[in-house]
């Protein structure tokens, strides 16, 4: 009962939708996550939680780096692809979008709202997930826009300050 209440409660907590990508000796991989948070601004760091069954989890562990791509409102299809809901004909999650290589070697989505280039500093296996705590080595800010959010088991888009209700 606690697990079900926990899952229902977490479904009500809105979060940005992010694609975490990595490349290196462990291979190129990526996964959609909503569990991403700032750890510190004085020593810029963030954390992400990745399911241990995801191939991206092992790739991040081996590569020691990743990029958090904060998705825009129009990126639901990219989120679905990296979440495994929709597959491309060749199975390449990176197909159909433009990517570039960051300083760490991690792939960044060309039109992500924000790209955080990170180096893993600590890994904590907790239940079914690994919590990666990483130093942010660079932040690429794109043109402002509306982030894709996830709440109540569905995608949404926030209304920005000064924007009229639809």
For the segment 103-125, what is each residue's pLDDT rounded down to a tens digit? 999 999 999 999 999 999 999 99
Structure confidence at residue 10 as a pLDDT band (50, 70, 90)? confident
**Residue 32 and residue 24: Cα distance in Å, rounded?**
19
**Which architecture, in CATH terms, is 12-154?**
Roll (2.30)
Spatial CB neighbours of 73, under 8 Å, sequence gap ≥ 6: 145, 146, 147, 148, 157
**Residue 36 and residue 134: Cα distance in Å, rounded?**
11
Q: What is the pLDDT of residues 49-84, one digit of tens each?
A: 999 999 999 999 999 999 999 999 999 999 999 999
At 161 the pLDDT is 73
At 89 the pLDDT is 76
**Residue-averaged pLDDT of the chain:** 94
Mean pLDDT (whole number) for 124-144: 96
Mean pLDDT (whole number) for 12-23: 94
Q: Where do the structural domains in the chain lie, given as residue ranges?
A: 12-154
Secondary structure class of 37 (helix, strand, coil): strand
Structure confidence at residue 27 as a pLDDT band (50, 70, 90)? very high
The per-residue b/e assignment along 5-36, b for 16 or more CB within 10 angstroms, e otherwise, is eeeeeeeeeeebbbbbbbbbebebbbbbbbeb
**Residue 148 and residue 21: Cα distance in Å, rounded?**
17
At 165 the pLDDT is 66
- Res 87 pLDDT > 90: no
Q: How far apart are the first and last CA of the chain?
A: 38
Whether residue 47 contacts residue 88, with contact meaning beta carbons closer than 8 Å, is answered with no
Structure confidence at residue 166 as a pLDDT band (50, 70, 90)? low
């Amino acid at each position: 009962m606690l697990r079900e209440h926990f899952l229902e409660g977490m479904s009500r907590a809105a979060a940005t939708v992010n694609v975490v990508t990595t490349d290196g000796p462990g291979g190129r991989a990526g996964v959609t996550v909503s569990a991403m948070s700032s750890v510190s601004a004085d020593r810029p760091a963030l954390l992400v939680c990745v399911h241990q069954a995801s191939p991206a989890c092992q790739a991040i562990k081996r590569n020691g780096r990743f990029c958090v791509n904060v998705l825009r409102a129009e990126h639901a299809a990219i989120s679905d692809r990296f979440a495994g809901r929709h597959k491309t004909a060749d199975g390449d999650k990176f197909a159909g979008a433009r990517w570039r290589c960051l300083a760490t070697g991690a792939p960044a989505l060309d039109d992500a709202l924000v790209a955080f280039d990170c180096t893993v500093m600590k890994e904590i296996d907790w239940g079914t997930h690994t919590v990666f705590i990483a130093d942010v080595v660079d932040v690429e800010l794109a043109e402002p826009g509306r982030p894709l959010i996830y709440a109540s088991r569905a995608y949404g888009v926030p209304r920005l300050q000064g924007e009229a209700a639809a």
